[in-house]
Structure 1
Amino acid sequence: MSSTLRELAAERKSARVAIERLRLAPVMFELGARPHPPRELYRAYLRQSDVFVGLYGERYGWVAPGEPVSGLEDEYNLAPDLPKLIYIKESAENREERLVELLDRVRDDDGASFKYFSTPQELRRLLEADLATLLAERFDQSRQEPTGETAPTLLEPEAAIAPVPLTELIGRDAELDTVEALLRRDAVRLVTLIGPGGIGKSRLAIDVASRARARGGETAFVDLTAVSDPALVPNAMAEALGVLDTGDRPITEKLTTALRQRRMLVVLDNFEQVLAAAPGLIPLLSAAPGLKLLVTSRALLRVSGEHAVDVGPLALPHAGHTRDTSAAEAAAVALFIERARAVKPDFEVTPENVDAIAAICAALEGVPLAIELAAARSRMLTPASMLARLDRRLSLLSGGPRDLPERQQTLRRTIEWSTQLLNDRDKRLLAELGVFAGSFSLEAVEFVTEDSSGPDFDPLVGLGTLVDNSLVREQDRGGRPYYSMLTTVREYTLEQLEADGSLEATRTAHARYFVMLARSLETDLKDGGQREAIALLNGDRDDLRAVARFLLDTRDATNLAQFSWSLLIYWWLGGLLGEVRAWMDELLGSGVELDDRTRARALYFIHSIALWQEPNDRVMPGLTESVELFARAEDRSGEGLAELSLALAAVANRPPDAKRAEESLDRSIALLRDAHDSWGEAMALVTSGRVALVQKSVHLAMERFEKSLSLARAQGEDMGIATALQHTGWAQLVLGHPDDARASFEESLAISARLGHAEGVAYGLEGLTAIAAAEGLVDRAGRLLRASESLRRQTGLGDARSFSFHKHYLTPILAAHAVELERARREGRDMSIDEAVRFALDRTAATAPVVHAASS
């Protein structure tokens, strides 16, 4: 895919959705590009590509100094032999002259087809249709079978695994041995790595975790960089462990349940900013005897059972050995050399420069991050010239607060020295990046810095400069570049924003971007763009939380409610509803005057989430008020969803109030249909079918489920498809159609696993457990049963919301073959969730039946 980046962001997103819906891989050339067009990168991608897609609007793109054409035209020129699908935005009124010339060439190119489009949605439809036609012409897909591949995104989150180091750990053998020896002792459950910022605590902890995992141990990595509220430490741990905060039980209780039977090393990184949470770790350690914690912190936790390991500076060469290249063996010098070669591959250590390198490391007191920042300048400065500049700067710079430890002041001075070598615009860009709580995309940077960057400043070029100077780090996520900053650098940048009085304005721009992003993704979350939207939001999760906190602190109730409402499906799929409920509780308790729609949304979140936890005498009135307020605000979609939750509350009554539930569901379906909210209508139809199935009106239930499935398939909305299929499977099984039921459960399970929706995976496993039990496959039923139980326990789902009849189908086996079933359950314990999904979807994994179980 080729386009200008800023101008066609929405179109690029739509095109990406079209490409990925056909299970193709989009490559977007200019992402991650540097100021000069990386032709070798283009060529490398083009050699692996089958199709060239060009999107063109008004802009020709930037022409690098000394280059004859822009990157946009260069990409087109380098793709002569590929089929080219070209899409031109017809609403463009001020097309640049050089782009007009390029488009004239396109029209004369026999190898290119071109079409005009008006909206991103139209582009998506055109591109999907054209790619499908192209594939049909070029490939015979009739023999291809579904692979059944699954790629959970939430069952085993990225955060659960320590980041993979890109470089060798230098000079920490002694510390590694000490920490590993401590952790091998049964009596040691909590080890804290102590040291100032930039000293290498996190890097050491990552290596310890990596070694433990290489030996077959289970590990998890909890990055607390973006957590400032000690009360949210359990939430951060839950997220890293895949425990979902659905709001039906306290997250600490779910976390304890998930860890109680596991043997695991959990790394808690950057704990110094949440020290008040330390006492809460002790009950967790007491409840989970197989749990060990490795904590990195600038200060001791001061709790019982803590074993501290000091992480000091790297070793420096011995003084007095001038012009001796053996100084390179000292850890500090070895680190400098490695990092220097990363930016200047031909960097050599010679008798002429070794003393300067050693002196640089000594001036920086062996602090690893300070050494890395200095080494990044090796591309432009020799060690001698670097030492001269460094000496002058370190003696002049204040280095931040004077009460910091000496080595922390050294690091601060080094950061400031690094920024002094930037131009004013790059300094400003670096400061503004400090508002991002986690990693951040180029699009987010462009928006946040738009007011201050000026028309002729390209943030991509500025980011490249900051990356080259080791002040910002770049990583690739599914073809999209993301950037991040180390905690110490972020602290420095926030100090700069606060000092010049622009912190509030920059945070406001940051919040405005994510509120806008949430609104732009609301439709995608309800249709075929769901998977891409979820992946995008997963990358921004820390910043989503930071935005909610900012909106609460600034008492911006309307934007907070809108932001939360736009991402309703994401909070649900991501297991974050408990956090949203806490935001709404705080909002209603703040005393801020709320308009009808804002209060309706807050009440909806609080009471629909608390549905299965709190007494119904609070839930029903709250949801009733939400319905009335939505109606007053003339928000039919909101009113319909609130009626849906009101129906569920009626079902949860003891005894259930079926009549009231049916009335609310009928109103809900009508309202959502009238609002053209197909996603909401599909959910209401499923719920209506559930009520009918519980009342043994199986045919009515099947009718509702099939209507829901039809709506979800028409939208291409995976979550709705999986939900409708799961319910359809139970109705089919009750009606005596086990083969149809198996197919429904299998498809639902595969979709849920691709989405990373843990609850959907649990339901799919339970459905296939029932199928195996109905067919008398005791071993298979036992293994699947254990897998679903483990998943519910590890993710904190429990059975409170379960809509599953698998235990009914297990009853005959339990009566006649309890021993065999229990043996199979024990063997199933050794399967990971991914293995369980593959096992469940593999029909050849079925074992011979030992009993014919009842199927009604």
Structure 2
Amino acid sequence: MVDARGALDGNPSGELGPTFGREQLRARRAALGLTQAQLAARLGVAANTFARWERGEIRPLNPDRVWGRLARLEPPRPPVARPRGGGSVSRRRDNLPVMLTSFVGRGEQLPELRRMVSSTRLLTLTGAGGIGKTRLALQVASAVLADYRAGIWFVDLAPVTDGQFVPRAVATALAVNEEPTRVLAETLADVIGAQRVLLVLDNCEHVVDACALLADRLLRACPELHILATSREALRTPGETAWRVPSLAVPQPPVGAPDQLQQVDAVQMFVARATAAQPDFRLTERNADAVAELCRRLDGIPLALELAATRVAILAPEQIVGRLHDRFAVLNAGSRTAVSRHQTLRAAIDWSYQLLSAPEQALFRRLAVFRNPCVLDAVESVCTDGTLPAAAVLGLLAQLVDKSLLMTENPTGPQVRYRMLDTLRAYGLDALRAAHEEPALQLRHAQWFLALAVQAELNVHGPGTVLWLDRLEKEHDDLRAALRWFIDHGAATTSHRFGGALAEFWHARSYLGEGRAWLGTILALPPSDVPVSVRAKVLHGAGLLADWQADFASAQALYEQALALWQDMGEATPAARCLRELGEVLVIRGQHERAGLLLDRALSISRNIPDRREEAATLHSLGLLAIERSDFAGASKRLEEARTLFAELADPRGVARAEARLGHARLAVGDELQAQALWESSLRQARALGDRLSEADCLSFLGSLATRHHDYLEAHRLFAESLTLRQQIGNRDGIATCLRDLALLAARQAEPERACRLGGAAVGLREAIGLPLWRRHDLRPERLRRGRGADLDLARAEAAWLAGRAAPLDRIIEQALNVSEPVRMASPRPQAAAGVVPGGLTARQAEVLHLVAQGKTDRQIAAELVLSEKTVGRHLDNIFARLGVSSRAAATAVATRQGLA
């Protein structure tokens, strides 16, 4: 700090002269480093009176007494410290503790905080215990040291047990002595005065009221003072900026190579501390997955990562991950020199929990029953009882958010959600068990999510489809937990109701394998007390999921069981749906005559029930049958009727699926442009709905069209994306179809061995499912071995075909997706398809040219056509080459002349 004890101008002794003049008064105040208001307060006069003295407007009534008091005032004394090497005392500009470990991560946050600490008088870093508030504050303070002429002073408030001692802690840091007759806060204000100082108040949460009062008082009195505070909750004083310290960034799957993984902040932290604990520790291909999962499971909390890193001396990362179900027992060996609450993970959270009021503690531990971020309605229903009324919940939630024990999500969405870090949730569950509240909370939780599933089932068709499916997606972990609770407690009827209500969601969002497993477990429960209609609904749901996984034999058996029960009860609507879906299975299995009979019955029933959605769906199924019978005019008629009716019913899923099938009917009669437009429209809707299976279907359809147009790079991209989606959802029939398409594509690209291997895999999988082979596609090795100028001898072709047929499915999919040199797939210049568009362009290229002529950018074209910008660029290169132009302007001129603008 500035040493204000030196001489006054013209008076080396620093003593006041006999003349009471305004210049001498100003000089003395400047020497003391005080404002007019501060010096007036020290003299016991009004600030306005002192200002008039300085302006010479009035004189004191007793000048000698004022002179005497001014002479006795002590100027600010700078804090001093001994240099580390010993020797004489020297002045320092900070007392920041020396850090013994490296600072890791937060590269984007530090510059922001440097700006904020200079632009705001009071900046409070808030966050959960162990999140790294103190370390970050010290790093920021070190970075701005040059900006504070009078220094940066660190005040550790952790040892302070009572708020009344907060000023004393600050005074100790500043080396300021307490004056017996004055309030210490006034003395601090006088010492700091108008000097540019940064105070770092660390660990304010347990004395937050006292910190707020002192900060407010000092900031008002000291115009150049800035305060950087750390606290688990904001001080809530005027002018404060609260900045929540986030967890360190954690790696998201899929995990990359070790050198890429180590660029992630949480991984950097773990590896740095692990290397300190075990010098030969390295991040490798073998342990990379475990380290990534460890960082995710520990929420990127620096303290938790440091505690976990100490364990690498005795446990491999994989072993640490395996023990995180009891993380508080594993992470209990911190530094002996750390403050007690940072020596174990549990102690860090204990500190926060014990600072809560009893109602706050109750709500905190009860919130741990939720697996996912929860909404207010759920909290008010699940977490309240006679001891914690619903009316108190909103205020308590606000307190927990303020105290960094809860975070909010979707603040701009329709509902705010409240989220706990996994580590805090684990602590909350322990507290819930200790309070003997867990059974009651789990029951209320299960009942609330059952009611949500039942309500959602009524709304997943129609205008609210996307909203309700998204809602269930967000709640999926809690829905799983609630269903598991009912199953484990032997509640057969309730479990059936729950599973039946979720079947449509699992179908719509392609949780096919998971949904089948749940429904299989439910169907294995003793059915004696389960109502027949409820049982039939679960059988139907299981059939639906088996159907979409291409397990058609199981689907047929389940549909037939459900149909028999509904027919016995005279339930027309569900019976019509079951007849329709059974008919579709028979279409796919090649039993067209029986399928037609069932679908005609379904249509007749559906036209005599109130639910017109079933009529639309049956028309769609009849369109599918017509396509299989090569009756494309009849197919178009049925599918147009279905699309129109679905649109009238505001059912976007129905519209999307009708358009996808209608595209096939259009393509079969040579209308490629219309087929492409229908498939792209269906693809956009499927993506908006989160319907991954329909999305995969549309990608395959568009891939086939790209193959027809000789755009082999685009075809491979589309088939590969479709195959990836199908693998994720377990759609075996679709996987076989993608392998077929990629085999045929490889044959076109003069890769006969690859074509035979993929073709053999496609045939083997199709037969394993129990489906007939494709009538229109020849996948025999003698056909696939003949590529363009690259024929493979028959023996090698058959060997590759048999190897593909016998290969594990995951391995063959990996081979199908990987193309070592994509550039080899560039197609030769194709001849223009007869009757498609002028200029020798394909239908896709004509669309791109049309949009270029409208002045659209590559990004806009990509968005409209559901392509990547890179693909659009490739199309433009081909268009320019075919048209003999080199610019967009020239291409636009050609488009205008040829009627494509």
**TM-score by structure 2 length?**
0.49
| Corresponding residue number in structure 2 for 1:425 | 359
Distance 1:454 1:184, change over 3 A: closer
Q: Identity over aligned residues, as a percent?
A: 23
| Corresponding residue number in structure 2 for 1:297 | 321
Asked whether 1:718 is paired with 2:747, we answer no
Amino acid at match of 2:601: R
Q: Counterparts of 1:423 and 1:716 in 2: how far apart (Å)?
A: 50
**1:16-95 equivalence runs, <5 A:** none
Amino acid at match of 1:599: R
- 8 Å CA contact 2:368–2:429 kept in 1: the answer is yes
**1:694-705 equivalence runs, <5 A:** 694-705=628-639
| Corresponding residue number in structure 2 for 1:599 | 535
Q: Counterparts of 2:383 and 2:263 in 1: how far apart (Å)?
A: 31
| Corresponding residue number in structure 2 for 1:754 | 688
- How much is the aligned-residue C-alpha RMSD, in angstroms? 4.9
| Corresponding residue number in structure 2 for 1:366 | 343
Structure 1: runs of 5+ lacking an equivalent: 1-156, 209-267, 270-274, 279-292, 302-309, 318-360, 370-407, 852-856
Distance 1:826 1:650, change over 3 A: same
Q: Secondary structure at the match of 1:512?
A: helix
Shift of 1:470: 3.0
Shift of 1:462: 1.0
**1:580-599 equivalence runs, <5 A:** 580-593=515-528, 594-599=530-535
Shift of 1:763: 1.9
Asked whether 1:485 is paired with 2:420, we answer yes
Amino acid at match of 2:343: G
Amino acid at match of 1:725: E
Q: Counterparts of 2:375 and 2:480 in 1: how far apart (Å)?
A: 16
**1:376-391 equivalence runs, <5 A:** none
Q: Counterparts of 2:700 and 2:254 in 1: how far apart (Å)?
A: 26
Q: Counterparts of 2:869 and 2:624 in 1: how far apart (Å)?
A: 24
**Structure with the greater alpha carbon radius of gyration:** 2
Q: Counterparts of 2:688 and 2:319 in 1: how far apart (Å)?
A: 33
| Corresponding residue number in structure 1 for 2:492 | 557
Shift of 1:747: 0.8
Shift of 1:526: 0.6
Q: Deviations over 1:276-311 (max 9, x none)?
A: xx9xxxxxxxxxxxxxx978526399xxxxxxxx97
Distance 1:595 1:790, change over 3 A: closer
- 8 Å CA contact 1:472–1:485 kept in 2: the answer is yes
| Corresponding residue number in structure 2 for 1:839 | 868
Distance 1:481 1:468, change over 3 A: same
- 8 Å CA contact 2:723–2:735 kept in 1: the answer is no
Distance 1:206 1:659, change over 3 A: farther
Amino acid at match of 2:541: F
Query: In the alignment, which of 654, 660, 664 is matched to residue 730 of structure 1?
Result: 664
**Alignment: residue pair count:** 515
**TM-score by structure 1 length?**
0.51
Query: In the alignment, which of 573, 576, 583 is matched to residue 647 of structure 1?
Result: 583
Q: Deviations over 1:340-362 (max 9, x none)?
A: xxxxxxxxxxxxxxxxxxxxx52
Query: In the alignment, which of 609, 622, 637 is matched to residue 545 of structure 2?
Result: 609
Q: Deviations over 1:409-438 (max 9, x none)?
A: x45xx53x5444433333332232222122
Q: Counterparts of 1:828 and 1:364 in 2: how far apart (Å)?
A: 61
| Corresponding residue number in structure 2 for 1:474 | 408
Which gives a bigger RCO, structure 1 or 2 (Cα 8 Å, sep 6+)?
1
Distance 1:494 1:732, change over 3 A: same
Distance 1:175 1:563, change over 3 A: same
Q: Counterparts of 2:373 and 2:252 in 1: how far apart (Å)?
A: 13
Give the stretch that moved more between structures: 472-481 or 164-173. Answer: 164-173
Query: In the alignment, which of 809, 819, 822 is matched to residue 826 of structure 1?
Result: 822
Q: Counterparts of 1:742 and 1:526 in 2: how far apart (Å)?
A: 26
Shift of 1:808: 11
**1:340-489 equivalence runs, <5 A:** 361-367=338-344, 369=345, 408=346, 410=347, 414-415=349-350, 418-452=352-386, 457-476=391-410, 479=413, 480-489=415-424
Q: Secondary structure at the match of 1:483?
A: strand
Q: Deviations over 1:453-508 (max 9, x none)?
A: 66672312111112223332322276232222244443444445445554333222
| Corresponding residue number in structure 2 for 1:127 | none
| Corresponding residue number in structure 2 for 1:112 | none
Q: Counterparts of 1:484 and 1:576 in 2: how far apart (Å)?
A: 24
Distance 1:541 1:696, change over 3 A: same
Shift of 1:180: 13
Q: Counterparts of 1:631 and 1:207 in 2: how far apart (Å)?
A: 60
Asked whether 1:785 is paired with 2:719, we answer yes
Amino acid at match of 1:607: G
Give the stretch that moved more between structures: 565-574 or 587-596. Answer: 565-574
Amino acid at match of 1:622: L
Asked whether 1:174 is paired with 2:110, we answer no
**1:199-348 equivalence runs, <5 A:** 202-203=300-301, 297=321, 299=323, 315=335
- 8 Å CA contact 1:685–1:708 kept in 2: the answer is yes
Q: Counterparts of 2:342 and 2:291 in 1: how far apart (Å)?
A: 23
Shift of 1:751: 1.8
Q: Secondary structure at the match of 2:417?
A: strand
Q: Counterparts of 1:501 and 1:619 in 2: how far apart (Å)?
A: 45
| Corresponding residue number in structure 2 for 1:519 | 454
Query: In the alignment, which of 478, 481, 487 is matched to residue 543 of structure 1?
Result: 478
- 8 Å CA contact 1:627–1:643 kept in 2: the answer is yes
Query: In the alignment, which of 573, 579, 584 is matched to residue 637 of structure 1?
Result: 573
Q: Counterparts of 2:872 and 2:623 in 1: how far apart (Å)?
A: 29
Q: Counterparts of 1:744 and 1:180 in 2: how far apart (Å)?
A: 61
Amino acid at match of 1:553: D
Q: Secondary structure at the match of 1:610?
A: helix
Q: Counterparts of 2:520 and 2:673 in 1: how far apart (Å)?
A: 46
Distance 1:502 1:687, change over 3 A: same
Amino acid at match of 1:545: R
- 8 Å CA contact 2:287–2:318 kept in 1: the answer is no
Structure 2: runs of 5+ lacking an equivalent: 1-250, 310-314, 750-785, 792-815, 827-861, 883-901
Amino acid at match of 2:822: R
